[in-house]
Every structure is written in structure tokens, then in C-alpha cells.
């Protein structure tokens, strides 16, 4: 018996040590709850997956991402508030609710502000965009990078849209964004702020006539199944943002912070690639799905811009004409 114990004790100790080492490694893993509004197959999902891949690979699995797509943690405002109180670690969000936390972000939602995607990306990646990212710290949030949704377009079930008069009275879902609401009110529409999880049901039930979103959202959310008309209006460029919770961020080492920043930067590249593809193929995809598609000409867009002149006066008062002109003039 003593001989057995003599051989058994070291083996038992080794097993115990191995178990302790395993449980120690397991306990060192930190879960990152990452919430976003759309499906994993969307541009949000593509960005989330790339962010995860980079961070998990470069930290040897010390961080494990858990995705909550399709508003699995609630609407975007709820998720952002979750970051502020520390119940959620990370999110990828549209610009829809960001101005409720940092008002300056609203300047990018001004209609017809950007000429094209290249112009918008240059502004967001440059001093103007980076200065606004830095303002999120005072709102109890850490903004790592500007993501992207693309230019927004209008879908509806009432009629085709070729002129401002065609929008009059249209019950149109908008984000909880005062800039968008002001624009559509100025055009005579009936903007209806609504959290994204409610939109499909409201369209099916006829509570609203339509909505406006980038092609990346219109295609990935299969809005062709509940909407008849698509107007390729490009009325607003729609950025997105990669945010993390300050409590989580402040607990990271400097090295891990750099990894999360690198992951966010690569996520943005993947997200923009998805948007580029949606912009080039989305219209044909939606036509094939049976939507009635019309694209505003330069002259038609000019008519909308003219109709929005009163709204622009409000935007100048809110954000300053100098800043707006500086954005427009960026090459």
C-alpha cells in the first residue's frame, strides 16, 4: 500500500497541477459581448467577425468574442447605454443614435453633404472625423474607429419618388436622428423615428409606408420582401462606429489596447469592402428580387437640395457654416 502511495502521490500532484493550470488559463479568458443590429451576413457581421479574428489571434485566445447580432441585446441606444454602465463590452452601431451621446456626430448626417464614398472616408479618417471620435470619452464611451453603411436610399410601398412632392405625407421610418427628421419634415414627409427591430413588422402591417437605409442594409435585411419601390436617392451618407465600454477598456494593458485598435481598423476595411460590393451590385440584386427601382438624376437631386434650404439654415445654426463648408471642400 505504501509502495502504491509512493508512486501515486507524484502522479496525483501532476494531475492536480495540470488541472490548476488549465482552470487558470480558462479563467484568464475574457468574454467580449459584441452587439449589433443586423444579421451576421451583413456588413456589421463582416466587421464583427474580422474584429474577433484579429483580437483572438493576436492575444492567443485570452479574449473570446460572443456575438449578439440582429439586435440580440436590444436596440442601438440600449446597447450603447449598456457600454456606459459596463454590461456590454463592444458594439458596432449606425450613426442613428450617436448624436444623442455626442451631438457633433450629427454633422455627418446632413443631406447631400458628401460627393461620394471616397470623399466621406477622407473626412472621417482625417482630422475632422478623428476629433469627433475623441469626444466620445466625455460621453462615457471609447470610440475606436468610424465604420460605414454607405449612402442612404428610400424604399416604400406607396409610390415611386422622382421629386420632393412625391415624398409629401409619406410615413417614413427614420432613425432616432434629429438631422434626418428635420430633413424629411422639411420635405413634407411624416418621419417616424423607430428602433430597427420594429421596422420589418411595421412595414408588413402598414403602420409605416417606407424607410430609408443604405443598399448594404436593404439587401442584407431582405427589404425587397416587404417593399415595392426603391429610390436610389443617395440623400445621406451613413457612417457607423466601433465602440467599446470604458470600464473594459481601462482594464486592458497598453499592448491589448493596440490589438483592439488594430482589429477595429481591419474591421473597417472589411466593412467598407462589403459596402463597395453592395453599392455595385445591390441595385441589380433588388431589381431581380422584384423591386421597382428609380435613380435620381443630378437635376432631380438638385431639386431636393433646393427644397431642403430651410433645413440647411438650421444645420448652420447647429454645427456652424464654417465646419460644413470645410467638409464640403475636403478633397
* Total number of domains constituting the chain: 1
Whether 6 is in a domain gets the answer no
**Which of 219, 66, 102, 90 lies closest to 149, judged by CA?**
219
Whether 11 is in a domain gets the answer no
Whether 248 is in a domain gets the answer yes
Whether 24 is in a domain gets the answer no
Q: State which residues form the domain around 177.
A: 29-329
The domain that contains 271 carries what CATH number? 3.40.190.170
pLDDT at 96: 79
pLDDT band at 212 (very low <50, low <70, confident <90, very high): very high
Which neighbouring-strand residues pair with 148? Answer: 239
Q: What is the mean pLDDT of residues 136-152?
A: 97
Whether 66 is in a domain gets the answer yes
Q: Is the separation of the CB atoms in 168 and 258 below 8 Å?
A: no
Q: Is the separation of the CB atoms in 48 and 34 below 8 Å?
A: yes
CB within 8 Å of 124: residues ≥ 6 apart: 108, 146, 239
Whether 105 is in a domain gets the answer yes
Which three cell numbers, joined as nine digits, stand for 13? 500532484
Give pLDDT tens digits for 89-132. 999 999 878 988 999 999 999 999 999 999 999 999 999 999 99
Whether 118 is in a domain gets the answer yes
CB within 8 Å of 100: residues ≥ 6 apart: 77, 176
- CB burial of 157-195 (b: ≥16 within 10 Å; e: otherwise) equals eeeebeebebbeebbbbbbbbbbbbbbbebbebebbebb
Is the pLDDT assigned to residue 2 strictly greater than 80?
A: no
Of residues 2 and 242, the one with the higher pLDDT is 242
pLDDT cut 90: percent of the chain above it? 87
pLDDT at 266: 98
Give pLDDT tens digits for 8-29. 444 444 444 444 444 444 447 9
What distance in Å separates the CA atoms of residue 30 and residue 148, rounded to the nearest whole number? Answer: 28
Which three cell numbers, joined as nine digits, stand for 281? 451590385
Which three cell numbers, joined as nine digits, stand for 54? 484579429
Is the pLDDT assigned to residue 55 strictly greater than 50?
A: yes
Whether 9 is in a domain gets the answer no
Amino acid at each position: 500500500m505504501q509502495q502504491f502511495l509512493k508512486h501515486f502521490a507524484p502522479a496525483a500532484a501532476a494531475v492536480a497541477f495540470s488541472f490548476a493550470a488549465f482552470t487558470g488559463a480558462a479563467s484568464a479568458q475574457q468574454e467580449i459581448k459584441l452587439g449589433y443590429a443586423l444579421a451576421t451576413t451583413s456588413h456589421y457581421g463582416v466587421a464583427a467577425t474580422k474584429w474577433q479574428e484579429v483580437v483572438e489571434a493576436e492575444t492567443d485566445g485570452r479574449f473570446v468574442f460572443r456575438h449578439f447580432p440582429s439586435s440580440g441585446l436590444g436596440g442601438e441606444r440600449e446597447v450603447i447605454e449598456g457600454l456606459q454602465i459596463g454590461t456590454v463590452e463592444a458594439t458596432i452601431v449606425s450613426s442613428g443614435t450617436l448624436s444623442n451621446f455626442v451631438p457633433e456626430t450629427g454633422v455627418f448626417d446632413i443631406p447631400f453633404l458628401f460627393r461620394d464614398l471616397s470623399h466621406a472616408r477622407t473626412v472621417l479618417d482625417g482630422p475632422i472625423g478623428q476629433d469627433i471620435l475623441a469626444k466620445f470619452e466625455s460621453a462615457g464611451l471609447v470610440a475606436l474607429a468610424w465604420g460605414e453603411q454607405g449612402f442612404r436610399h428610400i424604399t416604400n410601398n406607396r409610390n415611386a419618388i422622382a421629386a420632393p412632392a412625391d415624398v409629401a405625407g409619406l410615413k417614413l421610418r427614420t432613425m432616432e436622428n434629429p438631422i434626418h427628421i428635420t430633413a424629411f419634415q422639411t420635405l413634407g414627409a411624416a418621419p417616424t423615428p423607430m428602433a430597427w427591430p420594429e421596422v420589418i413588422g411595421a412595414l408588413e402591417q402598414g403602420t409605416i409606408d417606407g424607410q430609408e437605409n443604405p443598399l448594404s442594409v436593404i439587401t442584407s435585411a431582405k427589404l425587397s420582401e416587404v417593399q415595392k419601390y426603391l429610390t436610389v436617392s443617395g440623400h445621406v451618407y451613413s457612417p457607423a462606429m466601433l465602440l467599446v465600454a470604458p470600464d473594459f477598456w481601462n482594464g486592458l494593458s497598453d499592448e491589448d489596447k493596440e490589438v483592439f485598435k488594430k482589429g477595429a481598423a481591419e474591421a473597417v476595411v472589411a466593412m467598407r469592402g462589403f459596402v463597395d460590393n453592395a453599392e455595385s451590385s445591390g441595385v441589380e440584386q433588388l431589381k431581380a428580387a422584384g423591386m421597382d427601382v428609380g435613380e435620381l438624376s443630378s437635376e432631380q437631386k438638385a431639386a431636393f437640395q433646393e427644397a431642403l434650404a430651410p433645413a440647411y439654415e438650421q444645420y448652420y445654426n447647429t454645427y456652424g457654416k464654417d465646419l460644413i463648408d470645410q467638409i464640403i471642400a475636403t478633397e
